[in-house]
Structures are given as structure tokens and as C-alpha cells.
Amino acid sequence: MTDTPDVRGAGLIRAGLLVGPATAVAIALLVAPLVLLFRYSLNQYDATLLMVEALTWENYATFIQDPYYREVLWVTVAVAAGCTALCLLFGMPIAYRLARMRSRWKSAAMLLVIIPLFIGGSVRTVGWMILFSRGGLLDSLVSKLSPGTHFEMMYTPWAVVLGLVSITLPFVVLTLQSVFESIDVRLEEAASGLGASPARAYWHIVLPLAMRGVITGGTLSFILCMNAYGTPVLLGGPRFEMMAPLLYYEFSSNNNWPFAAALAFILMASTFLLTALAPLVVPKRYRL
């Protein structure tokens, strides 16, 4: 027996009343700190009082006018974009292979993807430090193969990129795998029956259908990399600046809370704007 519109409407109202309070609390806990942070960003810094109540855009103007801060933002965007590209480059074939696996080894392969998520980002970063540093595993191996030659990648952009890729790659793989599994394998079989090679079927059938998942996985990786703190600090060193470490330095060492708040908002706005524009890069025929 079908419910009448009145019954369905009453059910929606009851559901709204049950969910409403929790939703309101969640929104308040999210919005209130952002409002306070934005208010701080409009204050002025004082060496003695730390912060003076004001309504000024001076902190934002300082960021825009100083080429140093603009370069830090550019480096952050470049690193995040590079990490995202690498995660998609390696993550898409891995996810596709996992989605199409039907052997008993699929669980073991999935475990290999998931295991890094059980290890904290800082722990993994320390492992990269042991691998990349002077006298580390790679340096020792290179020295044995070629005496007098040293290998050191610590405190370079590549070290930061590899460290961030190791953290975000599992998220991209898991996101894409679920999308690939939702695509009917019979479509590929039909394409193969019509003479299409596996590569052609992938590029012309599977990839367009999975494009939303590609955008989602890429967006997730980009957001995580844009806001990364520990990996740039430990693998990049003090000379490699990104927005999150700079923000923390202004807040904790310089005690410049207004400027740090402005940096936080600029970072959030840049991340939101770039992720919102990302789908426009995808050809229109792939936007399902």
C-alpha cells in the first residue's frame, strides 16, 4: 500500500526534527571558529599586546604585496598539483587492477593498500628521512655500488612530493577502486568483441565513466597536500616553505595572530577555489 503525501510529509518532518539539532550543533562548531578566525585576521599586530582590535585589510594586503608570501603560495599549489598528478598516474592502474581482480589474492592486495593508513603520517615521514638522508639506506647502497658517490634527497622538493604521495595515494586508490567496480565489465567485453584493444576500451569507455571518481580522488589528494604540515617540515627542512608551516610559524614563533589568521583564510580560499575550478579542466564530454 502506497503512503499518502501527508504521511510522507509527516515522516520527513519527524526526520528533520531528529536530525536538526545535531546538524545545527555541527554547523555551529564549524562556523563559529571560522567566524572568529576571520575576525582575528582583520585585527592589527602589536609586539606588546600581540593583537589590537581593528577592522583592517592590512594583513591581506601584506600577503598580496610581498613576493615572498606569493611565492610560498605558488610553491604550495605546485607541490599539491604535482602530488595529485602522481597519485592519479599510479593510483588509476592500481585501482583498476584491484577492481577487476577475481583471484584469492585480492584481499592481500587490498591489505597492502590499506596498511599505510594504519601508520601515522609522521611515522612514515621519519621512515622517508631514514631512507633519503646522508648515511641512510639509499646513500649506503649507492656508496657500496659506487665508492665515493653519495645520494641524498633530504630537504628537496622531490622528498616532500614523494612523502606526500605516500600519504595520499591510498585514499586515491580506494576512491577509484569503488568507482571502477561500479562499471559493468560487460561494457569492456562488448568493446573487445567489436575489435577494441584493452587499452582502447579503457580510454574510451572505462575512463569517461570513471571521471567523477577521478575528480573526487584528485580533489581529495589536492586538499590533503595543500594543507600538509608535518611532511614539508620534516622532509623539506627550514628552507622549503609551504603555507601550513608558514602559518604555524607566524602563529607560534612570531606571535602574529592576525597575519596567521589571514594566511589561514587565504589557504582555505585558494584550496576551495582551485578545487571548484578543477572539473573545468576535464573535457565537457567526460563530465557526467
- Which pLDDT tens digit goes with each residue over 90-123? 999 999 999 988 888 888 888 888 888 888 777 8
Domains belonging to the chain, first-starting first, are: 66-286 (1.10.3720.10)
Q: Which residues contact 36 (CB under 8 A, 6 or more apart)?
A: none
- The pLDDT, as a whole number, for residue 239 is 85
- The pLDDT, as a whole number, for residue 162 is 93
pTM of the model: 0.86
Helix (H, G, I), strand (E, B) or coil at 105: coil
Q: Which of 249, 235, 270, 234 has the alpha carbon at shortest distance from 80?
A: 270
Q: Which of 263, 80, 275 has the alpha carbon at shortest distance from 167?
A: 80
- The pLDDT, as a whole number, for residue 2 is 52
- The pLDDT, as a whole number, for residue 286 is 63
- The pLDDT, as a whole number, for residue 12 is 60
Where b means 16+ CB within 10 Å and e means fewer, 229-238 reads ebbbbbbbee
Cα 158 from chain centroid (whole Å): 17
Residue 188: Cβ within 10 Å count:
17
- The pLDDT, as a whole number, for residue 1 is 47
- Which residues in the chain land under pLDDT 50? 1, 7
Q: With the CA atoms of 236, 240, 245 and 249 taken in that order, what torsion angle do they form, in degrees rounded to the nearest 10?
A: 120
- The pLDDT, as a whole number, for residue 10 is 59
